[in-house]
C-alpha cells in the first residue's frame, strides 16, 4: 500500500469555488455525519474523487491515527499530519461546529424535475440580484415558519417561490415566469416529490449565504430590524420600515414590494440613515 501524495490546488478555497457536485457531496455528508472532523476528512477526499475506506489501525506499514483512502481498486494510507494539512484547507466551511455558508453563486441556475416529462425551472441570479422585494418577503415568511416548526415543507415552498418555469424575459435577464401565487402549490408538490433532500440542503445553504451578504451590504437596514424592541420580531420591524417608506399607503406599499430587492433595500437604508442623522442631531441639541 502506497502513501497518498497530495498536490496543492486540488481543493476549493472558498464557497464560491466549490462545484455543484462538491456542494452536493458536502450536503450528503452533513446529513449523514454529525462530527465536524469526520465531515471534513470525508469531504476533502470526496472533492478529490476519492473515498475514505476506514481509519488506519497501525498494523503493518499503516500509520496510527491516519486513514486508508481509495480510488477505484487502489488503496493509499494517509498520515495524521497530512490529514490535518488537508482538512485545514476546508476550515472555511465551518464556523465553530456549524456549517457557515458564504456562497453567492447560484448552484442551480436551472433545475429539471420530474419522472418522464421533466420540467425545467429557472432560478434567481447570483446573490438574489434579480428577485423582487415581494418575492423575498414570501421566502422570508417560509424561512421563519421553518425556524419555528422545522417542517421541511416550508423549505420546499421557499425553493418553489424562487425557481419557476421560463417566461418573458424580465430586466437583468431574469428568465423566470412571473410569481403567480395560484401556481405555487403545484410547483411545491413537484419540489417535494422530485427535489432530493441533499439538493434542498444546498439551496438553503446558498440562500443563507446570500442573506449574510445582504446583511453586510445593507447593514443599517438589518441592524435596525434586529434592534427592534418589545415583542416585535425582526421581520415585523423590517415590514414597519417598508410601510414607513410607503407612507402607509396601500397602493404605494404594493409599488414598493414590486421593486427589485436591491433597489428597495438601498432606498430603505437611505431612510434609516436619514432617521439616525435626525435623531443624532436632536440629541446634540
Share of the chain above pLDDT 70, in %: 89
88 shares its domain with 167: no
Q: Determine, yes or no, domain membership for 160.
A: yes
33 shares its domain with 84: yes
Q: Determine, yes or no, domain membership for 278.
A: yes
207 shares its domain with 278: no
Average pLDDT of the chain is 86
Determine which of 54-63, 99-108, 138-147, 223-232 has the lowest per-residue pLDDT on average: 223-232
Which domain does 154 fall in, by range? 110-217
Last residue of a domain, one of 217, 250, 272: 217
Q: Determine, yes or no, domain membership for 104.
A: no
Share of the chain above pLDDT 90, in %: 51
Q: Determine, yes or no, domain membership for 39.
A: yes
Beta carbons of 37 and 53 less than 8 angstroms apart: no
Mean pLDDT of 249-278: 84
63 shares its domain with 116: no
133 shares its domain with 211: yes
146 shares its domain with 225: no
More confident site: 158 or 278: 158
- What residue has cell string 481509519? 55
Mean pLDDT of 115-135: 91
Q: Which residues, 6 or more positions from 42, have their beta carbon under 8 angstroms from its beta carbon? A: 29, 33, 51, 52
Q: Determine, yes or no, domain membership for 50.
A: yes
Last residue of a domain, one of 75, 99, 123: 99
136 shares its domain with 197: yes
E strand residue ranges, 25-104: 51-57, 64-71, 74-78, 94-95, 98-99
Beta carbons of 120 and 111 less than 8 angstroms apart: yes
CA atoms within 13 A on the CB side of 27: 21
Closest to 4 in 3D by CA, of 61, 75, 64: 75
168 shares its domain with 189: yes
Q: Determine, yes or no, domain membership for 20.
A: yes
Per-residue confidence band for 232, with pLDDT thresholds at 50, 70 and 90: very low
- Please count the structural domains in the chain: 3
More confident site: 96 or 123: 123
160 shares its domain with 138: yes
* pLDDT (tens digit per residue) in 85-119: 999 999 999 988 899 999 999 999 999 998 888 88
Last residue of a domain, one of 99, 118, 142: 99
Note the pLDDT of residue 220.
84
* pLDDT (tens digit per residue) in 242-262: 777 777 677 777 788 888 999
Residue 8, SS3 per DSSP: coil
81 shares its domain with 134: no
Q: Determine, yes or no, domain membership for 70.
A: yes
195 shares its domain with 256: no
162 shares its domain with 81: no
Q: Determine, yes or no, domain membership for 105.
A: no
Amino acid at each position: 500500500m502506497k502513501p497518498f501524495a497530495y498536490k496543492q490546488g486540488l481543493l476549493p478555497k472558498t464557497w464560491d469555488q466549490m462545484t455543484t457536485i462538491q456542494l452536493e457531496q458536502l450536503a450528503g455528508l452533513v446529513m449523514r455525519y454529525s462530527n465536524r472532523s469526520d465531515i471534513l476528512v470525508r469531504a476533502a477526499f470526496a472533492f478529490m474523487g476519492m473515498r475514505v475506506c476506514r481509519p488506519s489501525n497501525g498494523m503493518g506499514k499503516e500509520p496510527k491515527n491516519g486513514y486508508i483512502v481509495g480510488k477505484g481498486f487502489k488503496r493509499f494510507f494517509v498520515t495524521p499530519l497530512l490529514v490535518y494539512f488537508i482538512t485545514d484547507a476546508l476550515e472555511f466551511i465551518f464556523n465553530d461546529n456549524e456549517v457557515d455558508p458564504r456562497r453567492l453563486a447560484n448552484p442551480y441556475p436551472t433545475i429539471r424535475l420530474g419522472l418522464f416529462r421533466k420540467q425545467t425551472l429557472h432560478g434567481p441570479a447570483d446573490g438574489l440580484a434579480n428577485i423582487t422585494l415581494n418575492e423575498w418577503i414570501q421566502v422570508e415568511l417560509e424561512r421563519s415558519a421553518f425556524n419555528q416548526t422545522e417542517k421541511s415543507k416550508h423549505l420546499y415552498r421557499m425553493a418553489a417561490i424562487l425557481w419557476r418555469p421560463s417566461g418573458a424575459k424580465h430586466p437583468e435577464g431574469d428568465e423566470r415566469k412571473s410569481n403567480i401565487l395560484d401556481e405555487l402549490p403545484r410547483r411545491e408538490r413537484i419540489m417535494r416529490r422530485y427535489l432530493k433532500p441533499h439538493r434542498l440542503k444546498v439551496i438553503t445553504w446558498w440562500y443563507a449565504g446570500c442573506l449574510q451578504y445582504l446583511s453586510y451590504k445593507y447593514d443599517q437596514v438589518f441592524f435596525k430590524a434586529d434592534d427592534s424592541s418589545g415583542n416585535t420580531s425582526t421581520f415585523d420591524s423590517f415590514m414597519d420600515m417598508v410601510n414607513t417608506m410607503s407612507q402607509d399607503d396601500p397602493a404605494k406599499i404594493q409599488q414598493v414590494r414590486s421593486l427589485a430587492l436591491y433597489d428597495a433595500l438601498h432606498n430603505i437604508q437611505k431612510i434609516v440613515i436619514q432617521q439616525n442623522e435626525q435623531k443624532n442631531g436632536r440629541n446634540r441639541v
